[in-house]
Amino acid sequence: MKQNLWLLFLPLLFANPATAQYEYGLKPVEVAAYREQVKQDQRKELIDLEKFIPDVVLDIRYATTNNFTGEKIYNLPKAYARRPVAVSLKKAQEEFRKHGYGIKVFDAYRPYAATVKFYEVYPDTTFVASPYRGSRHNRGCAIDMTLIDLRTGEELRMPTGYDAFVREARPTYPVNDAVVRKNRALLITVMDKYGFRVNASEWWHFDFRGYQTYEVLDIAFEELNP
């Protein structure tokens, strides 16, 4: 009888949402382990970019329904990055300011659970990270961004909008418009100077060099901002 009851509860056990998101074989670091890691190495701390970088603008699309999933993924419109990433981004912001421009962030650190969701909605790893490996965003080492005019607050013209899953989004795609070409080149050049490599498929996505030394995380923003 006891054995039969156990068999009845097995499906409920494996349907637990807390374990379902790890079905791809990757076990990311959760908040308790993350806090212990930060005690040992301050470089692993996730920094609140809005507090750390003067005048940075946030447009966190995944905290709204204005994104490719059509669903609200984050409960808070926040942007975090590992400490060295935040420091380098701040330096880039200072250089953009000399041109009269500033940084607008669409996304930064992304919990692993969100990557799983994205893959299940759009399973094309040209534009969406594989949940089998996790993404640079999950490591706190990627920034989705564009530039704004500091006088007007308007975005500079770029080849496509954010999260446009089209070939024109590639950073090397030919652009006839000289202004758009100049804007894209400035963005990529300055970010490269401060340690960021542009993604091969997305002009707005920049990976911090050395991301491999950081673990994949699955920590909700609420846990970082209690």
pTM: 0.89
b or e along 76-107 (b: 16 or more beta carbons within 10 Å of the residue's beta carbon)?
eebbbbbbbbbbbbbebbeebeeeebbbbbbb
* 27 conformational bin, left if phi > 0, alpha if psi -120 to 50, beta if neither: beta
Q: Does domain 29-224 have CATH number 3.30.1380.10?
A: yes
CA 3 to chain centre: 46
Q: What does the pLDDT read at residue 20?
A: 47
Q: What does the pLDDT read at residue 101?
A: 98
Q: What does the pLDDT read at residue 125?
A: 87
Q: What does the pLDDT read at residue 126?
A: 86
Using alpha carbons, list the distances in angstroms from residue 106 to 5, 29, 58, 165, 226. 49, 24, 6, 15, 22
Residue 2 in tokens = 């006891």
The Cα–Cα gap between 216 and 98 comes to 35
Q: What does the pLDDT read at residue 225?
A: 76
Q: What does the pLDDT read at residue 10?
A: 36
Q: What does the pLDDT read at residue 18?
A: 44
Sign (positive or negative) of CA dihedral 117, 131, 193, 160: negative
The Cα–Cα gap between 200 and 206 comes to 10
Which residues contact residue 129 at a Cβ distance below 8 angstroms, ignoring those fewer than 6 apart?
115, 118, 119, 135, 136, 137, 138
Mind listing the pLDDT tens digit of every residue in the chain (226 residues)?
A: 444 443 433 333 333 344 446 789 999 999 999 999 999 999 999 999 999 998 999 999 999 999 999 999 999 999 999 999 999 999 999 999 999 999 999 999 999 999 999 999 999 888 899 999 999 999 999 999 999 999 999 999 999 999 999 999 999 999 999 999 999 999 999 999 999 999 999 999 999 999 999 999 999 999 997 6
The Cα–Cα gap between 169 and 26 comes to 29
Residue type, 201: S
Parse the chain into domains and list their residue ranges: 29-224
Q: What does the pLDDT read at residue 3?
A: 44
* 101 conformational bin, left if phi > 0, alpha if psi -120 to 50, beta if neither: beta
Q: What does the pLDDT read at residue 21?
A: 63
